[in-house]
A and B are shown apart, each in its own frame.
Chain A
Amino acid sequence: MSGDNEVEIPEVDSVSGSGIPIRGNDIDTDQIIPARFMKVVTFDGLGEFAFFDLRFDDDDNQKAHPMNEDRFQDSSVMVVNSNFGCGSSREHAPQALMRWGIDAIIGESFAEIFAGNCLALGIPTVTADSETIEDLQSWVDENPDGELEIDVEAETVTYGDTTIDVTVDDAQRKALVEGVWDTTALMKSNAGEVRKKAEELPYVPASAIPEAE
């Protein structure tokens, strides 16, 4: 138990950085990190394989993709369209993006498990309507060095002279702003109540319930 107290969970009130546009609806996690790169027992080093098959051809030559462009190499805010991260539940997907350098994602909509996985890494996934997103993608394209600031608590994104309203899921906002997005320690502290709940459930055998610590 004591080990858990050593984990520091930072508050994520805001994220700022330059943007990178990744266009297209229904971008699935198989595209974000192809299955063959999941034959690993740690997430280390996944960054270089993010969007691999869209970025490289069979001979590992670069294809046209924003993540290959010099001007986006320092970008940390990804701007995407609808249903981003659909498909497989693999946390390898947001892990790969995070390890490439992404700290936040702005999009029209996100698949639920993907958004949950991002939250578990402290990566905000904020949403706006399609027109707003397209405008933002165009701006990022034209201003690759331009700074975007996501204010998670105020639910706004500021770029250039423009500030737009975005939506941050309530639980996500609280978790990020209050620094409780890594839920292990928080939930572990309720171990007694968890045991009580287990005892109440008719299908849980008594032998499966651990002794109080």
Chain B
Amino acid sequence: MSERTLYDKVWDRHTVTTLPTGQDQLFVGLHLIHEVTSPQAFGMLRERNLEVAYPKLTHATVDHIIPTADQSRPYEEDAAEEMMSELEENVREAGIEFSDPNSGDQGIVHVVGPEQGLTQPGKTIVCGDSHTSTHGAFGALAFGIGTSQIRDVLATGTVAMEKQKVRKIQVDGELGEGVEAKDVILEIIRRLGTEGGVGYVYEYAGSAIEDLSMEGRMSICNMSIEGGARAGYVNPDETTYEWLEGTDYFQENPEKFDELKPYWEAIRSDDDAEYDDVVTIDASELEPVVTWGTTPGQGVGVTEPIPAPEALPEEKQDTARRAQEHMRVEPGETMAGYEIDVAFLGSCTNARLSDLRRAAEIVDGRQVDGDVRALVVPGSQRVQRAAEEEGLKAIFEDAGFEWRNAGCSMCLGMNEDQLEGDEASASSSNRNFVGRQGSKDGRTVLMNPQMVAAAAVTGEVTDVRELKEVQTA
């Protein structure tokens, strides 16, 4: 058969049956669980006297609530300790592999899966976390699900879903200096809207996507959900295979690589695949994008003026007015120069080793602004160790950053890392909603990791390209 997308092919390969509702019952190749959204699902399972059907296709980690400073047990906060204990008991009872803090493999669920080789092309992957879309970077179909669906997956190894349309987002051209994958996805969401992807999954394609590293592709797929899409993916290619070969799974099972490669090749979208919509973007036109508002779609190039609400489509004007009031920004100004109190380098969007490397390049030889609290929270213990070994930790600490242990941290503020009062943050994370980083009056400006580094050292939103020129001059 031809004219089919990866989405069509992987969906068909995993469809067990069509349910009476018209939804398809999809087999789940990998179920990732963590401490926040799974305990209730295990509870429901017990109520119904059911067991975990496919424990060996399930993998657990702890990320949202874990303290990133003192991790000695019991955790200082009772609620965090209770959630951790509950997860430990659930995975022990069910025989589920757990990347716990003592394993040296713990980290954010969307960092852990790819680095261990659990995330593979052509798998269906679900997790009770909206940023599960990250795993689409490998050509997997990856969906965030709710807790009742986690119950379904635990009990049956399957999930009920409706098939969606596919929009191809073709990004061609070369990204300029200081412009990253993060800027590409912020631009996509800005153009198509936070609800623009409702009813769709996004296939990212084009030379700019092909040129990206796996980390860059993950950053883009990660934020598909911010654009309203149910999932996002990139077709697997040599870049994907190279990453996979280096992971634990294929290091331990090298024969599997050759065995599975034909499958990965077969599920790529056909050259003549038909899409429900196609959007094209010229990567060479982009500059670093920063958000001025309180949704990820309220973004602007760092040298561009903040739009006047009246200039936006009518349905966006109210939200824009409220957002500008909350953020205390004025139309016509640029975000460059916006003073910040906190710099947060972390989250499942941008806390991988390469993100830390790029930020460290900017930080190296500079000092964090005296009024800024800056923290680096590696995405996983492995990222943390690797960064320490290659000297990144020293660079950050010498500059005045706090070097923390792995976790979700200030991205959503479920541990002790939170904005206080109306603090403004430069953040490499994915959401700038009111209250997102732990304070309902807090202000979050999303940007790429180099831009976070630049903001940390200058104390204000700064075009990182200027900083680079200064340094080389």
Contacts and interface: CB of A to CB of B under 8 A. Distances in A.
Contacts of B388: none
A83 B164 CA distance: 17
A118 to B, nearest CB: 9
A1 B315 CA distance: 49
A7 B390 CA distance: 55
A212 B145 CA distance: 27
A203 B118 CA distance: 11
Contacts of B57: 204, 208
Greatest chain B CB density within 10 A among A112, A172, A182 is at A112
Given A171-B162, A187-B160, A188-B50, A35 B16 contact: no
Interface residues of A, number: 74
Contacts of B88: none
A124 interface: no
Given A2-B49, A35-B412, A194-B156, A82 B130 contact: no
A26 interface: yes
A120 B158 contact: no
Given A39-B80, A83-B198, A198-B27, A174 B21 contact: yes
Interface string B284-325: 000000000001010000000000000000011011001000
Contacts of A43: 40, 147
Interface of A: 1-4, 6-7, 24-26, 28, 30-31, 34-36, 38-43, 53, 82-83, 86-92, 94-95, 109-113, 116-117, 120-121, 130, 169-172, 174-175, 178, 180-184, 186-188, 190-191, 193-194, 197-198, 200-205, 207-210
24 contacts: A2-B49, A25-B319, A28-B431, A30-B412, A31-B433, A36-B414, A39-B80, A88-B431, A89-B129, A89-B146, A91-B147, A110-B198, A111-B228, A112-B164, A113-B144, A130-B315, A171-B162, A183-B25, A184-B152, A190-B156, A191-B156, A204-B29, A208-B54, A209-B54
Given A109-B198, A120-B148, A187-B19, 4 more contacts: A1-B49, A4-B48, A112-B199, A186-B19
Interface of B: 13-17, 19-23, 25, 27, 29, 36-37, 39-40, 43, 47-50, 53-54, 56-57, 65, 77, 79-80, 82-83, 86, 120, 122-123, 128-130, 132, 144-149, 151-152, 155-158, 160, 162, 164, 194-195, 198-199, 225, 228, 230, 259-260, 263, 295, 297, 315-316, 318-319, 322, 412-414, 431, 433-436, 438, 440
